[in-house]
Amino acid sequence: MAAITLNVLVSGPADGIPVLLVHGNCSSSDFWRPLLRHLPPTLRVVAPDLRGYGRSPVVPVDATRGLRDFADDVAALLDDRELFPTGAPVVLGAHSMGCGVAMHLITDHPGRLRSVLLEAPVSPYGFGGTRDLAGTPTTPDFAGTGGGAANPDFVRRIAEGDRGEDAQTSPRVVLRTGYVADPASLGADEEMLLDTVLSTAIGDDNYPGDSKSSANWPGMAPGDRGVLNTMAPNHFNVADELVAAAVKPPITWVRGDRDAIVSDTSFFDLAYLGSLGLVPGWPGADECPPQPMVGQTRAVFERYGPYTEVVFAGVGHSPHVERPAEVAAELLKLV
């Protein structure tokens, strides 16, 4: 795979303790700025824009590799001696989809990570389409996951650069209601954080990706291209690989108890939306239960070994935005 050049946000001295920050979906490196204000200037912090986000190039994403296209891009940064002059193992902080990238780094690039903070991580069994703590598929083709699961009006509004607040599908409203529990926590950063959402490259090769038809509810299954398909459970299932990792850096798992995106009652899980009557034709809990995302992650981390779970009350999907000083304190424990 040919190397690509990522845009990176860099702060701190060249000889500082190296910290790598990996953002999540519909986001960019600027999404870390609320956290950066609470980190000491002595750290060497590098935060890339993943391919197709921020100011990095729009490059196709091969979803059949899970999140490895992103992980390999990030791993290449660790060999860049301008960014990381010492070459020492890094402290890694990741958010949401970025945590899946981090999981690939743990399994595929042993010894490169000193410690890991995973904030609101995607389940090690992928997003949607599984029914229990062991990640058992709901249907053979993982129907209801991948590129077709995105709300098309939200996708259209990102493509149009919509900054309005006239609908639940507007990027601003999704930022206020999906990314955080308390919209007031966005404060003066709201416009900047909205910019990160709107930086998302739209298309079958990027966000949300392609899809396939399915005979199973809700009529579509994951495709092989683009971002949401990277997290579909047919392409992303790293549970056993994590447990068997050759080197296991300690993990701090940070989450909010009001996360609307990664939870056992996720408003982005079509099975949960179906159970609420918001997606027609839901076949019921026996055939298509909501994914127990938090329970799955805990079960895998218990098998993995060295981990700590930190839960913030009243906080949503982005604790580092809502409680930046507290998340910074957790990250500094890993330094």
Average of per-residue pLDDT across 109-128? 98
Give me the chain's average pLDDT, please: 97
User: Domain containing 85: what range?
Assistant: 8-137+230-333
C-beta neighbour count of 289 within 10 angstroms:
17
Q: Is the pLDDT of residue 319 over 80?
A: yes
Distance CA 240, CA 304 (A): 9
Tell whether 194 is covered by a domain. no
Cα–Cα distance list, 48 to 66, 71, 75, 134, 190 (Å): 19, 11, 11, 33, 20
| Residue 311 in this model has a pLDDT that exceeds 60 | yes
- 303: pLDDT confidence band, cut at 50, 70 and 90? very high
> Interhelix angle for 68-78 vs 97-108, to 10°?
60
Residue 135 to residue 233: CA distance in whole angstroms: 9
Query: Is residue 53 within 8 Å of 70, Cβ to Cβ?
Result: no
Domain presence at residue 220: no
Going by pLDDT thresholds of 50, 70 and 90, the confidence category of residue 4 is confident
Write the CATH number for 54: 3.40.50.1820
Lookup: tokens for 333? 């424990």
Note whether 124 and 233 are within 8 A (CB): no
CB 155 within 8 A of CB 201: no
**pLDDT score of 185:** 97
| Digit-coded pLDDT (tens) for 241-288 | 999 999 999 999 999 999 999 999 999 999 999 999 999 999 999 999
Mean pLDDT in residue range 17-35 = 98
Q: Does some domain include residue 1?
A: no
Q: How many domains are contained in the chain?
A: 1
Condensed to tens digits (0 to 9), the pLDDT of residues 48-89 reads: 999 999 999 999 999 999 999 999 999 999 999 999 998 999
Helix (H) or strand (E) holding 106: helix 97-108
For the full predicted model, state whether its pTM sits above 0.95: yes
Task: Return d(Cα 330, Cα 119) in angstroms, integer.
Answer: 11
With contact defined as beta carbons under 8 Å apart, do 145 and 129 qualify? yes
SS3 (DSSP) at 172:
helix
Residue 309 counted as domain residue: yes
pLDDT tens per residue, range 129-170: 999 999 999 999 999 999 999 999 999 999 999 999 999 999
Residue 326 pLDDT > 70: yes
pLDDT of 232 over the 60 cut: yes
Distance separating alpha carbons of residues 91 and 116, to the nearest angstrom: 6
Q: What is the pLDDT of residues 249-258, one digit of tens each?
A: 999 999 999 9
324 within a domain of the structure (yes/no): yes
- For the chain, give the percent of residues with pLDDT over 70: 99
Strands 251-256 and 113-119: parallel
Longest dimension (CA), the chain: 58
Residue 198 domain-assigned? Answer: no
pLDDT over threshold 60, residue 1? no
* Beta carbons of 53 and 125 less than 8 angstroms apart: no
On whether residue 323 sits in a domain, the answer given is: yes
CB 49 within 8 A of CB 56: yes
How far is residue 175's CA from residue 196's CA, in Å, rounded to a whole number? 10
Structure confidence at residue 64 (pLDDT): 98
42 in a structural domain: yes
